[in-house]
Structure 1
Amino acid sequence: MTQHPRGKTNKARGEETRQKLVEVGLRLFAMNGFNGVSMRSLASEAEVNLATVGYHFGGKQGLYEAVIHEIIRFRDEVMPGEDAVREQLVRFEAGEINKEDLVSWFFRSQMQGILSDPTSLWGVMLLNRELADPSDSYQLLDSEFFTPSIDSMVLLLKAAMPEETSYTEVMAVGLALIGIVLKFVMPKVFTDRVGWDEITPERVEELIEILSRRAVAFVCC
């Protein structure tokens, strides 16, 4: 279809509407849970008519599944994937980087992926809801988000920690590090006490520098 010079094609407008519904759905589901969100509130927040949600997703369940797939799509941006980890392990084994560099890279990648995107708050909130009260979509999240993320984390930590370290200890350390990152997704307790009005990009970098050094000390050195 040829695009009209004065506007967008119907397809382009449809894609914009679909993406807006996913973004609104992520926020509303994160705040209120699946059962706490109505089709009417979704349509109102997205500034579309009620039938539009059904047209694009078949209903609320379809939109929720689209939101879950959107979270999965950004998995490697907030948690280094196995391929990225193996690339760093090759550098480590070749002597190009040391254990401190390895751990710092992994932790910084998590911090930057989560703290640099303001919408991460909603994704984290929704993931926590799924962990606390799994929906029908939990198995998909487990297989496509949680398991690959944990596998890549364990792969890296096993290389950084002493060979005799048990799997239990590796998991405990890894999840503790993830917990540190997630604490700064909603940083009000911290910012109120250090006198920051907001988390600017410069302050994100300052936090990453502080916490990545401490993460290295916690894991191996």
Structure 2
Amino acid sequence: MTVHPKGKTNKARGEETREKLVDVGLQLFAMNGFNGVSMRNLASEAEVNLATVGYHFGGKQGLYEAVIREIIRFREEFMPGVSVVREQIKRVESGEISKEEMVTWFFRSQMEGILSDPITIWGIMLINREMAAPSEVYPLLDEEFFEPAIQAMNLLLKAAMPEGSSYTEIMTVGTALIGIVLKFVASKAFTDRVGWDEMTPERIEELIEILSRRVVAFVCC
């Protein structure tokens, strides 16, 4: 096995380059869309030669799919999964926490994960593009990102909302909550209107606290 002067093997250097291309691809695709990004642009921004993109991913389409899979992999870091939601529901049923506390936990988990991590923000921006103009990889995103997230949210809302709420009502409320979260991703229009220079950690916490209270009232009180 060849070891380069800096102590990295060929395999390690290859993995590092692959990760860099995915990171660069995520940002470029989020900002410009699939058709707005060229292979040359990708290579230039990642500071690699043009053939490297093809070597690792087979081309732009392969890199785009790798980017989408990376977004899917991060899903449960900011969107609680079904198993975690079931645990919270059991805590409500045992009297350990209230429905209001469960809803606050769920909404806060999403808002903190999305607004506090720049990488996640790029992912949400790209997801918005896919929702507006689905590409060839949309079915993958729908099956492995949207469907698990919707299942978890519906499970939580069914437990939190008044007994007898219809599936249509649950889906309507869930869709509205998703819209609230997405509305504040890279929202320069909002920060300008409230006089904030940027979304600092303190501003994010203030925003989440306000929205959490209102979401609880919207969902279950």
Alignment partner of 2:118: what SS? coil
TM-score with structure 1 setting the length = 0.95
Q: Which residue of 2 aligns with 1:124?
A: 124
User: 2:180 maps to what in 1?
Assistant: 180
Quote the residue 2:10 is aligned against. 10
Deviation at 1:3, TM superposition (A): 5.6
For 1:54, the equivalent position in structure 2 comes to 54
Q: Which residue does the alignment assign to 1:82? A: 82
CA contact 1:120–1:185 (8 Å) conserved in 2:
no
Q: Is the CA contact 2:4–2:10 (under 8 Å) kept in the aligned structure 1?
A: no
1:54-103 per-residue CA deviation (whole Å, 9 max, x = no partner) reads 11111111101100100100111121100110110111111100110010
Counterpart-to-counterpart distance in 1, 2:198 and 2:126: 23
The 1:119–1:82 alpha-carbon spacing in structure 2 relative to 1, beyond 3 Å, is: same
| Aligned partners of 1:34 and 1:64 also within 8 Å | yes
Count of residue pairs brought into register by the alignment: 221
Aligned to 1:160: 160
Give 1:69's aligned residue.
69
Secondary structure of the structure 1 residue equivalent to 2:64: helix
SS at match of 1:34: coil
Aligned equivalents of 1:193 and 1:133: distance in 2?
29
Greater CA deviation, 80-89 or 126-135? 126-135
Residue equivalent to 1:28: 28
CA contact (8 A) 2:2 2:10 kept: no
Letter in 1 for 2:149: S
The answer to whether the 8 Å contact 2:116/2:204 transfers is yes
- Aligned partner of 2:211: which letter? L
Q: SS of the counterpart of 1:207?
A: helix
Q: What whole-Å deviation, never above 9, does each CA across 1:151-182 have from its counterpart, x for those lacking one?
A: 10000000000111111111111111111111
Partner AA of 1:77 in structure 2: E
Task: List gaps (5 residues or longer) in structure 2.
Answer: none
DSSP 3-state at the match of 1:119 = helix
CA distance, structure 2, for counterparts of residue 84 and residue 169 of structure 1: 23
Counterparts of 2:163 and 2:19, CA distance in 1 = 46
Give the Cα–Cα distance (whole angstroms) in 1 for the partners of residues 97 and 3 of structure 2.
51
Normalising by structure 2, we get a TM-score of 0.95
Which residue of 2 is the match for residue 101 of structure 1?
Answer: 101
Distance 1:38 1:5 in 2: 33
Amino acid at match of 2:33: G
Which residue matches 1:197?
197
Structure 1 alignment gaps of length 5 or more: none
* Pairwise CA distance, 1:7: 2.9
Q: 1:25, 1:42 within 8 Å by CA — same for their partners in 2?
A: yes
Deviation of 1:134 after TM superposition, in Å, equals: 1.3
Residue of structure 2 equivalent to 1:210: 210
